[in-house]
C-alpha cells in the first residue's frame, strides 16, 4: 500500500501527471441530468480506481467508484442516480447524474481513488441545481415575498442567503442566516431585505419591502457556504413606476404658452405594453360589434314601420268605396263606378265600386228598393254550395225635378 502511494505521488510530481483543476460551473434545472468527462493522461493509471465524490469542507465523500472484483477491474458502476464509467483505452472517465435535485448542488471531484482516503482530483465541478425560474412584476412601493423549499434532512441548519447578481456574473449577498455563539440564527434583516428559515418545514422565506425601480434584476435564494453559493431558486424581478400626471408647458409659434396634462409611466416593460395594446384592441372590437348590432336593429325597425305604412295606404285606397255627395239636394243615387276605360286593365272580377248617398227619411213619392233575401233561383243541386256572407242595402230613388234633363 505504501509502495503504491509513493509511486503514485512520484508520478504526479515527476512524470507530469497533474490534476486537472479547471473548475467548471454547471447549472441545471431540477429534474435534468449532468454528464461530466474527466481525462487522465498516463496509461499507467488505466487500472487505477476512479471515483466521483462530493466535497464538504475539506472532505470529499465518494458517491460512486470503480472497483475490483474476482473477475477483474469493474470499470462501470451505478449507485442510486449516479453512474461512473472508465474508458481505460482512451483515458476518459464519464460520470452521469440523473434526475437532479436542489440538494445536489455542491462541489464535486472526479478523482483517482486509492481507498480508503487517498484522492487525487482530476476535475473539480461546481454543480448548481435550482428550481424553475420565478418571474415577478411589481409596482414601485410594493413588497415582494419569495418562498424557497429545501431538503431538511441534509440542509436543515446550513446557512441560507438572499443574493443579487452583479456585473461579470458575481453575486452580492444582501442578507443571510448565520450560526451564532450558541445556536443557529434562522432569521436576519438587513436594510429592506429580511430572511427567515423555517427548519421544520424546510422553507426559506425572503421579503423585500418598499421596492424601487433600481431593485429590478436577478436574485438567488441559495445555500450559503462562504464563499460558495448554491442556488435554490432564481428570481427575475421587474419593478415599474406608477402612472403619474404632470403639467407640461408648451409654447406655440405665436409666443403663447399653454399647459398640457401629460400622463406617463416610467419603467414599463415591453411585455406590459403589448398586453395593454392587446387589451385595447379587444375592447375596441367589442364596442364596434355592439354598435353594428344596434345599427342593424334600427334598420330592421325602420323597414318594418315603412312596410306597415305602405300597407295601410293600399288598404285605404281599396276600402274607400263609399263617399257622401257634396250636393245636399241629391237624396240618393246609385251607379256603377267602373270606368269603361278600366275594362282594359286587369281588375279583379269580384271588385265593384259604388257611390251611395243617404237621406234621413225617404218621401212617399220616392221609390224604395229593398234587397231582402238572396235569390236561390239559379242554384241547382249540382252547383249548390255553402252560402257566402251577403250584405244587404236599401236604395231609394228620387224623381228628377221638372225641367231637368235626364
On whether residue 338 sits in a domain, the answer given is yes
Measured in degrees and rounded to the nearest 5, phi and psi for residue 166 equal -120, -165
Which pTM value belongs to this model?
0.46
- CA 129 to CA 27: how far, in whole Å? 6
92 and 19 in a single domain? The answer is yes
Among candidate residues 221, 240, 259, the one where a domain is terminated: 240
On whether residue 271 sits in a domain, the answer given is no
Residue among 69, 72, 37, 66 at smallest CA distance from 51: 66
162 and 120 in a single domain? The answer is no
On whether residue 277 sits in a domain, the answer given is no
116 and 181 in a single domain? The answer is no
On whether residue 199 sits in a domain, the answer given is yes
- CA 39 to CA 122: how far, in whole Å? 7
68 and 139 in a single domain? The answer is no
Query: What is the distance of C-alpha 31 from the center of its chain?
Result: 26
- Print pLDDT tens along the chain (406 aa): 344 444 444 334 333 334 434 468 888 888 999 999 998 876 778 888 999 999 887 889 999 999 888 888 888 999 999 999 999 888 899 999 999 988 888 899 999 988 877 888 899 998 888 887 889 999 999 999 999 988 877 788 889 999 999 887 788 999 999 998 888 999 999 999 999 999 999 999 999 999 999 999 999 999 898 888 888 889 999 999 876 555 555 554 455 555 444 444 444 444 455 566 777 889 998 999 999 999 999 999 999 988 888 877 665 554 444 445 555 444 444 444 445 444 445 555 555 555 655 555 555 555 555 555 555 544 555 555 455 555 555 555 565 555 555 4
- CA 188 to CA 185: how far, in whole Å? 8
What pLDDT sits at residue 177?
94
211 and 185 in a single domain? The answer is yes
> Is the previous residue joined to 257 through a cis bond, with omega within 30 degrees of 0?
no
Q: Kindly report the CATH number assigned to the domain that includes residue 122.
A: 2.60.40.10
27 and 67 in a single domain? The answer is yes
What pLDDT sits at residue 210?
93
SS3 sequence of the chain: CHHHHHHHHHHHHHCCCCCCCCCEEEEEECCCCEEEEEECCCHHHCCCCEEEEEEECCEEEEEEECEEECCEEECEEEECCEEEEEECCCCEEEEEECCCCHHHCEEEEEEEEECCCEEEEEEEEEEEEECCCEEEEEECCCCEEEEEECCHHHHCCCCEEEEEECHHHCEEEEEECEECCCCEECEEEECCEEEEEECCCCEEEEEECCCCHHHCEEEEEEEEECCEEEEEEEEEEEEECCCEEEEEEEECCCCCEEEEEEEECCCCCHHHHHHHHHHHHHHHHHHHHHHHHHHHHHHHHHHHHHHHHHHHHHHHHHHCCCCCCCCCCCCCCCCECCCHHHHHCCCCCCCCCECCCCCCCCCCCCEEEECCCCCCCCCCCCCCCCCCCCCCCEEEECCCCCCCCC
120 and 152 in a single domain? The answer is no
- CA 148 to CA 374: how far, in whole Å? 106
- CA 326 to CA 313: how far, in whole Å? 24
Q: Is 384 left (phi over 0), alpha (psi -120 to 50) or beta?
A: beta
For residue 354, the cross-strand partners are 336
On whether residue 303 sits in a domain, the answer given is no
107 and 136 in a single domain? The answer is no
Q: Is 255 left (phi over 0), alpha (psi -120 to 50) or beta?
A: left
Question: What are 300's three cell numbers?
Answer: 330592421
User: Residue 72 to residues 49, 75, 204: CA-CA distances in angstroms?
Assistant: 12, 9, 49
140 and 228 in a single domain? The answer is yes
Locus of grid cell 412601493 = 141
On whether residue 315 sits in a domain, the answer given is no
Give the total number of structural domains in the chain.
3
On whether residue 193 sits in a domain, the answer given is yes
Pair 193, 162: CB distance under 8 Å: yes
Among candidate residues 129, 147, 163, the one where a domain is terminated: 129
98 and 168 in a single domain? The answer is no
What pLDDT sits at residue 119?
87
31 and 121 in a single domain? The answer is yes
Instruction: Give per-residue burial for 7-38: e unless 16+ CB within 10 Å, then b.
Output: ebeeeeeeeebebeeeeeeeebebeeebebeb
User: Residue 369 to residues 315, 332, 346, 372: CA-CA distances in angstroms?
Assistant: 30, 12, 32, 9
- CA 300 to CA 307: how far, in whole Å? 11
On whether residue 382 sits in a domain, the answer given is no
Among candidate residues 202, 218, 240, the one where a domain is terminated: 240
337 and 232 in a single domain? The answer is no
Residue range of the domain that includes 219: 131-240
Amino acid at each position: 500500500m505504501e509502495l503504491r502511494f509513493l509511486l503514485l505521488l512520484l508520478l504526479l510530481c515527476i512524470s507530469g501527471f497533474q490534476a486537472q483543476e479547471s473548475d467548471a460551473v454547471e447549472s441545471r434545472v431540477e429534474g435534468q441530468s449532468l454528464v461530466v468527462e474527466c481525462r487522465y493522461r498516463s496509461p499507467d493509471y488505466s487500472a487505477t480506481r476512479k471515483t466521483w465524490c462530493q466535497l464538504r469542507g475539506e472532505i470529499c465523500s465518494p458517491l460512486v467508484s470503480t472497483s475490483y472484483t474476482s473477475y477483474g477491474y469493474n470499470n462501470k458502476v451505478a449507485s442510486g442516480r449516479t453512474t461512473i464509467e472508465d474508458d481505460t483505452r482512451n483515458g476518459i472517465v464519464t460520470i452521469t447524474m440523473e434526475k437532479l435535485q436542489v440538494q445536489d448542488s455542491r462541489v464535486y471531484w472526479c478523482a483517482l481513488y486509492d481507498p480508503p482516503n487517498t484522492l487525487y482530483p482530476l476535475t473539480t465541478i461546481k454543480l448548481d441545481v435550482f428550481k424553475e425560474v420565478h418571474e415577478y412584476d411589481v409596482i414601485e412601493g410594493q413588497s415582494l415575498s419569495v418562498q424557497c423549499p429545501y431538503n431538511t434532512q441534509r440542509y436543515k441548519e446550513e446557512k441560507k442567503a438572499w443574493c443579487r447578481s452583479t456585473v461579470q456574473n458575481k453575486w452580492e449577498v444582501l442578507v443571510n442566516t448565520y450560526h451564532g455563539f450558541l445556536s443557529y440564527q434562522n432569521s436576519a434583516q438587513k436594510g429592506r431585505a429580511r430572511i427567515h428559515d423555517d427548519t421544520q418545514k424546510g422553507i426559506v422565506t425572503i421579503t423585500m419591502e418598499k421596492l424601487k425601480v433600481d431593485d429590478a434584476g436577478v436574485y438567488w435564494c441559495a445555500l450559503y457556504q462562504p464563499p460558495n453559493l448554491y442556488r435554490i431558486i432564481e428570481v427575475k424581478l421587474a419593478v415599474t413606476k406608477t402612472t403619474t400626471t404632470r403639467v407640461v408647458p408648451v409654447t406655440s409659434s405665436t409666443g403663447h404658452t399653454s399647459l398640457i396634462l401629460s400622463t406617463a409611466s416610467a419603467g414599463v416593460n415591453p411585455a406590459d405594453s403589448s398586453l395593454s395594446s392587446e387589451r385595447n384592441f379587444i375592447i375596441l372590437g367589442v364596442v364596434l360589434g355592439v354598435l353594428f348590432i344596434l345599427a342593424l336593429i334600427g334598420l330592421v325597425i325602420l323597414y318594418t314601420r315603412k312596410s306597415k305604412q305602405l300597407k295601410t295606404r293600399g288598404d285605404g285606397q281599396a276600402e274607400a268605396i263609399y263617399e257622401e255627395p257634396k250636393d245636399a239636394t241629391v237624396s240618393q243615387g246609385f251607379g256603377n263606378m267602373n270606368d269603361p276605360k278600366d275594362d282594359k286593365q286587369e281588375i279583379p272580377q269580384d271588385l265593384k265600386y259604388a257611390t251611395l248617398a243617404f237621406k234621413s227619411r225617404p218621401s212617399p213619392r220616392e221609390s224604395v228598393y229593398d234587397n231582402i233575401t238572396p235569390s236561390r233561383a239559379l242554384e241547382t243541386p249540382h252547383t249548390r254550395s255553402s252560402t257566402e256572407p251577403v250584405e244587404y242595402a236599401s236604395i231609394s230613388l228620387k224623381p228628377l225635378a221638372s225641367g231637368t234633363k235626364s
